[in-house]
Structure 1
Amino acid sequence: MTIEVPASRPASLPKPPGDAAQCDTLAEVLSTAAARYEEFGEEATRLRDLRNTWWGVAYDAYVAASRKAAPEHSAMAGTVRRVGRAVTSYADTLRDLTGTHDTLVERKAGLDERRTTLIADIEAAAEATPEMIAALQQRATDLGADYGVLVADHDTLQRRVGENEDLLRQAFEAADTLTEGLSGDGGIGETARTAMQEPGAPGSGATPAQVREWWEQLSDAEREAVIAAYPGIIGSADGLPAATRDQANRVLLDDDLARLRAKEEDGTLSTAERRVLANAEAARKALTKADGYVDPTDGERPGGTLWLYDPAAFGGDGRVAVGVGDLDTATDVSVQVPGIMTEMSGVGGNTDEAIRLYESARYNGDGSSVATLFWLGYDTPESPLDPATYTPDRAADGGQRLADAVEGLRASRSDDPAHLTVIGHSYGSTATSYAATDHDLAADDVVLIGSPGAGPADTAADFSVGADHVYDGRNSRDFVTLFGDEGAYHNPGGLGVDPSSEDFGAQRFEAESVDRSSVVNTDDHSRYYDHDSESLYNLGKIVDGHGDEVNAAAHSYDPWYWGSVDPEWSREPTTDVPGRSDTRADDVP
């Protein structure tokens, strides 16, 4: 009996052409060039009115020329930026394709080794039994099938390499004439424009579920095209996979950093642009921290995600969301909503908290995968002196935005839903309460910590998740928690009921700090995510889906004969909780 040994296939595995690092350099050069065009346009506009020092025919000609030159240079800046983003996207895809190529090379080496071993075994089987021959034949059949899969995967790689090249060609050709350069969509290729005209495209008024359906019907090339051409739309589109939003937002971030740093070097950075640059630099540092974090339970890097990036929003305060872990696949996902004075420039510290929460859920959990997301998507009050701090308007707006964001997360994983927990801290807890009461927040569990009031909810039963899935953590020394209504006491600001109270009916857990003061203060308001703390331990349990295992605390109450009483005031706090970690998120570079 003859055993046919399959030939080694494919004959060669050529590496994708191009150097991603060189492309990054080109993208930076293009962003710098865009900055130069911007500068000219801005200066031409600024210097247009010289009537106090110059007049006459020559001045009139100058004004006419500047009126034409300023918008033309601004338009050219936009085109050059779009081409630069296309180069950045090309480089990112090239890295992915190169990684795929390296994996194929390893697979082929393994298959070739199996082939060599099979040939040697056949040659050594001079007096093989029928059973041995059948086994050798099966090995040959399996090897042939695996070579076939390798060939198919290699063909796919080659197709994607060609598509990536073609998309960059389209971007260049869409900006190679003056007319195109001065147009509003110069540098945007036909593939991207066509895809964004399909039903369900983001920006068309489509729901998150419709956006997800639109994305799923796109080819790989169409997806890469719209990310490169419309990163601002794709990066904030609810319903798209987190990895897709991350890719688009990183393109935006790279562009902002290169362009604004170039203007800073030239001394032409405006006050508004300076804030945007500071926000972009803060986002880069936070993302680097999230990318570099190592899970101490398994030694792996869960990876970071730039889920939201809008550094100019809210007058320069910015909108941003940074995740730790795979938001597209994790079994347990959390969203952390901050309170007053939180701005994008401080996202590094908030990312530390997301890392600590991730770590707590992993250390004290059941081994399931986890992803934590810090979300700053609403306009927080600016300070304790800001009147908005004591009124619910921004919390109500934040609640709507939060509900929309969570709906987007849900829609992006409609066929693989995660256990999802939303944690609102301080004024963010009031915003979370509005989301869960007025906007049917699509969470499984809701946690309020350091809350000044539960907004429109009279009791935990008013929340969309049901009373059994509403949790509250209150440090008895936390000054901010005194603003919640309780019993006969009503705060004139109107932020709502104290969620730690007996009347509200949430599941209260221990959240005291061993470093707490002997009196009510503001420092204890910022200790809910501290390492080895009661609060962080219990938060990790809830995020992991085991809220029934939190260390319960007695509710506060307001007897008719006395003021508000918090039983936690006299309990001695402890750090003696299971799953203590020696890793400090603050130490991650």
Structure 2
Amino acid sequence: MTTIQIPASIGYPERPDGEPASAETLASTLLQGSASIAEFADEADRLSTPTPLWQGEASAAYAAHAQKFAKAHEPMGETLKRVARGVDVFAEQLRELQSEHTTIVGQVTAYDRDRAALMADVAESTETDVPVLQERARRLASQRTGIVDDITGLQERTTDNEDYLVRLFTGADTVAEAQSAAGGIGALALAAISGKPPVTAGPSAMSKWWNGLTETEQNAVIAACPETIGSADGLPASARDRANRTLLESDLAELHQKQADGTLTADETQRLKNAEATQKALKYADGYTVPGTEDQPGGQLWLYDPDAFAGDGRVAISVGDLDTADDVSVSVPGIKTQMDGAPNGVKDAAHLYESARYNGDGSSVATMFWLGYDTPAGDLLEWGEVPSEARAADGGERLATAVDGLRASRADNPAHMTAIGHSYGSTATSYAATNHDLAVDDVALIGSPGTGPAGHASDFSVGADHVYDGRNSRDLVAALGEQGWLRKGQLFGLGLGVDPSSEDFGAHRFEAESTERASHVRNFDDHVRYYDRDSESLYNLGLIVGGNGENVITAEQSYDPWWSGPIDPEADRTPTANEPGRSDTGRGPG
């Protein structure tokens, strides 16, 4: 009888040693210690300033002594902070390794079961059974090769992670190292970061540099330089997320310590407010469960910069995995949105995620709230910052750069990408699509006061056929845009360009009325209803994000006849409420 080669058994791999929770506790303790040292250095620096009440040699000697203490302790605090961040990165990596170990153990168990079944069948087989048994043996051998490779990779990564922790501590275990500018960074991270291209080289160069690092080098750089990695366009969202979470945890630990001690400055108070808002928003994204399912897509902190724009801050948080999702959307908010608005922005992103999934074709989704520009603080109908398009122009350039970064990080696995601009954010999005070749597949504008430099949808980089607009007829802000032969809006002179809902602009207008809209009067409440659950607007936005824009429920464009003011045909239509994936009127896909 023909011999059947049964592959050998596989030994179970050792579980990576250590407790991630204990390491995280140590990281928190070290962060608190770094905060105390930083406070001490700040106080010493304050005391080094002479006062009118105490002059002379003694005062000068005391000031010099205090200044010496400040200069010595400030780098020590930074070193301890870097070590704490490194321990946190180690803990996260250890948790991933232990999870991978559990998966491999399950694979080995299944392999042993299949191998035992094959051996039993071979023992009772006849010559006619040989071809089938040989094929089973070949598949089993291939399975064994994959599992052994996984075990080898697990063992190598475990060793690298442990070596990294040793180097982290030995790189800051002397006074000289603790007081140096590079204390706690380590030779591994220094060597890796030295090869980083300048920002001016572009996202593609940044992506190439990152992909050329080993996993251990990447971990070292994230721990040592999270400020650099967290905002580096072109890097994977997962890397930026880890770096920004490290920064967020560090900020919260340090600022809460100072708050408890009563030493927070005004700037630090604002930074803490921004950090706490980010924490709340991220917690919502991490814990969000798609209604009616057990699916938790998770969140990613793609951008965290609490000091930007004089304390207004920059932040971007996604629902879903930006590195792997088939369909990715970037939602750009408008007036008055600052970092403390992140929780509401992320809830809107979650609603959009639901709609794209329910109304989609089964593809994976990631929806990001992106506050990466300096929004105006005033109202559209107030004298202040808003009537100017300067911030929209700057925001458009920043948005285009951010999208280029997302594209570069996914060069080998491109996603269908949609930019959604709301309110003043629609004007910023228009600048990005008109002046900076915004690299998305579709653009949707909602509640827009005007399209800035674009006179027609064909001016957008995506082409007119991929430009969509949603406008609630009672939305006061959306009534500001210009249209018609006199280029006038319903409220003269306050718009920021052409009304994208108008026939002049030529976009695909979709239904966006709310069942809760005001009876007749235009108002601000209807300006913030575009992401409401079960709304016409959200239903259509979900179709666009999912790459199914051709299925939106279209609305007649507004127009401006010569004998009248601008007319919105949607004003007299009774709004509908859309169930997830199905319209009450039966017009949506069921």
- The TM-score with structure 2 as length reference comes to 0.94
Letter in 2 for 1:540: G
Structure 1 counterpart of 2:104, one-letter code = L
2:360 maps to what in 1?
A: 365
CA distance 1:577–1:29, change in 2 (3 Å): closer
Question: CA, structure 1 residues 494+393, in 2 after alignment: closer, same or farther (shift >3 Å)?
Answer: farther
Matched with 1:430 is: 427
SS of the equivalent of 1:468 reads helix
Structure 1 distance, partners of 2:493, 2:575, is 32
Q: How many Å separate the matches in 2 of 1:131 and 1:217?
A: 52
Cα offset for 1:492? 3.8
What amino acid sits opposite 1:192 in the alignment? Answer: A
CA contact (8 A) 1:534 1:577 kept: no
C-alpha separation in 2, matches of 1:342 and 1:327: 23
Distance 2:60 2:512 in 1: 71
Secondary structure in 1 matching 2:386 = helix
For residues 137 and 512 of structure 2, what CA distance do their matches in structure 1 show?
Answer: 63
- The reply to whether residue 395 of structure 1 matches residue 397 of structure 2 is no
Deviation larger for 112-121 or 345-354: 112-121
- How far the C-alpha of 1:202 sits from its partner, in A, is 5.1
CA-CA distance at 1:107 after TM superposition: 1.0
Partner-residue secondary structure (3-state), 1:205: helix
Distance 1:220 1:386, change over 3 A: farther
Task: Measure the CA separation in 2 of the matches of 1:511 and 1:340.
Answer: 20
Of the three residues 217, 232, 250, the one matched with 2:212 is 217
Which of 545, 548, 561 matches 1:546?
A: 548
Superposed displacement of residue 321, structure 1:
0.6
Retained in 2: the 8 A contact 1:391–1:494?
Answer: no
Q: Mark the CA change 1:580 to 1:386 in structure 2 (over 3 Å): closer, same or farther.
A: farther
Partner of 2:240: 245
Provide the rounded CA distance (Å) in 1 between the counterparts of 2:135 and 2:551.
Answer: 52
The answer to whether the 8 Å contact 1:302/1:326 transfers is yes
Q: 3-state DSSP class of the match of 2:194?
A: coil
Residue 138 of structure 1 and its aligned partner are, at CA, apart by 4.2
Partner of 1:479: 476
Aligned to 1:585: none
User: 1:175, CA displacement in angstroms?
Assistant: 1.4
Match of 1:38 in 2: 38
What CA distance in whole angstroms lies between the structure 2 residues aligned with 1:581 and 1:241? 37
Q: 2:178 aligns with which of 175, 178, 181?
A: 181
2:509 equivalent in structure 1: 508
CA contact (8 A) 2:48 2:64 kept: no
Question: Following the alignment from structure 2 to structure 1, what is the Cα–Cα distance between the partners of residues 493 and 464?
Answer: 26
User: Is contact 1:82–1:187 with CA below 8 Å preserved after alignment?
Assistant: yes
In 1, Cα distance between the equivalents of 2:275 and 2:229? 18
Residues 228-267 of structure 1 deviation map (CA, whole Å, 9 limit, x = unaligned): 1111111111111111111111111111111211111111
Any conservation in 2 of the 1:37–1:74 contact (CA below 8 Å)? yes
**Counterpart in 2 of 1:587?**
none
Match of 2:522 among 515, 520, 523: 520
Amino acid at match of 1:101: H
SS in 2 for 1:387: coil
Q: Decide which of 282, 295, 299 is 2:294's aligned counterpart.
A: 299
* 2:465 paired residue number: 468
The answer on whether the counterparts of 2:359 and 2:581 sit within 8 Å (CA) in structure 1 is yes
CA distance in 1, matches of 2:562, 2:231: 50
Instruction: Please state how far the C-alpha of 1:537 moved relative to its aligned partner.
Output: 0.8
- Describe the superposition over 1:138-192 as per-residue Cα deviations: whole angstroms up to 9, x where unpaired: 4344434433332221111111011111222222122122222122221012121
- Structure 2 counterpart of 1:162, from 138, 159, 167: 159
Superposed CA offset, 1:62-118 (max 9, x none): 110112111222211111111111011000100000001111111111112223223
Q: 1:579 is matched by which residue type in structure 2?
A: G
Deviating more after overlay: 187-196 vs 52-61: 52-61
- Work out whether 1:197 is the aligned partner of 2:194: yes
The 3 A distance-change label for structure 1 pair 202 and 229 is: farther
For residues 38-117 of structure 1, the aligned pairs below 5 Å read: 38-117=38-117
1:18 is matched with 18
CA contact (8 A) 1:363 1:580 kept: no
Q: Does the aligned pair in 2 maintain the 1:557–1:566 contact within 8 Å?
A: yes
Q: Distance in 2 between matches of 1:335 and 1:175?
A: 41
Tell me how far 1:529 sits from its aligned partner.
Answer: 0.6
1:262 aligns with 2:263: no
User: Distance between the aligned counterparts of 1:136 and 1:570, measured in 2?
Assistant: 72
Distance 1:145 1:550, change over 3 A: closer
CA distance in 2, matches of 1:429, 1:560: 28
Deviates more, 1:395-404 or 1:505-514: 505-514
In the alignment, what sits opposite 1:536?
538
SS at match of 1:545: coil
Secondary structure of 1:454's partner? coil
Shift of 1:119: 3.0
Conserved 8 A contact 2:539-2:578: no
Checking the alignment, whether the CA contact within 8 Å between 2:449 and 2:495 is kept in structure 1 is no
The Cα of 1:347 is off from its aligned counterpart by 0.7
CA distance in 2, matches of 1:39, 1:581: 58
Letter in 1 for 2:508: Q
The answer to whether the Cα contact below 8 Å between 1:460 and 1:467 also exists between their aligned partners in 2 is yes
> Which segment is superposed worse, 453-462 or 291-300?
291-300
CA distance in 2, matches of 1:80, 1:97: 25
Name the SS for the 1:67 alignment partner.
helix
Q: Which amino acid aligns with 1:568?
A: E
CA contact (8 A) 1:454 1:495 kept: yes
Displacement of 1:568 in angstroms is 1.1
Question: What is the deviation of 1:482?
Answer: 2.4
Q: Distance in 1 between matches of 2:303 and 2:278?
A: 10
Match in the other structure for 2:336: 341
Between 58-67 and 128-137, the greater mean CA deviation after superposition: 128-137
Distance 1:149 1:362 in 2: 33
Structure 1 stretches lacking a partner, 5+ long: 583-589
Q: 1:317 aligns with which of 312, 316, 323?
A: 312
Per mean C-alpha deviation after superposition, the further-off stretch among 425-434 and 150-159 is 150-159
TM-superposed CA distance for 1:309, in Å, is: 0.9
**Deviation of residue 50 (structure 1)?**
4.1
Structure 1: distance between partners of 2:560 and 2:273: 46
Pairing 1:273–2:268 present: yes
| Stretch of structure 1 that moved more, 491-500 or 477-486 | 491-500
CA contact (8 A) 2:50 2:60 kept: no
Shift of 1:417: 1.4
Q: Kindly state the Cα deviation for residue 3 of structure 1 after the two structures are TM-superposed.
A: 4.5
The residue identity in structure 2 corresponding to 1:31 is: L
Are residues 444 and 297 of structure 1, via their aligned partners in 2, closer, same or farther at CA, if it must alter by over 3 Å? farther
Counterpart of 2:70 in structure 1: which amino acid? Answer: A
Q: In 2 relative to 1, CA 308–576 (structure 1 residues): closer, same or farther, beyond 3 Å? A: closer
Q: For 1:251-309, what per-residue CA distance to the aligned partner results, in whole angstroms no more than 9, with x for missing partners?
A: 11111111211111111122211221222122122112112222346532111111111
Cα distance between partner residues in 1 of 2:272 and 2:316: 17
The match for 2:127 is 130
SS of equivalent residue, structure 1 residue 196:
helix
Moved more, 487-496 or 531-540: 487-496
Q: Secondary structure at the match of 2:556?
A: coil
In structure 2, C-alpha distance between the alignment counterparts of 1:158 and 1:416, rounded to whole Å: 29
1:274–1:580 distance in 2 versus 1, CA, 3 Å: farther
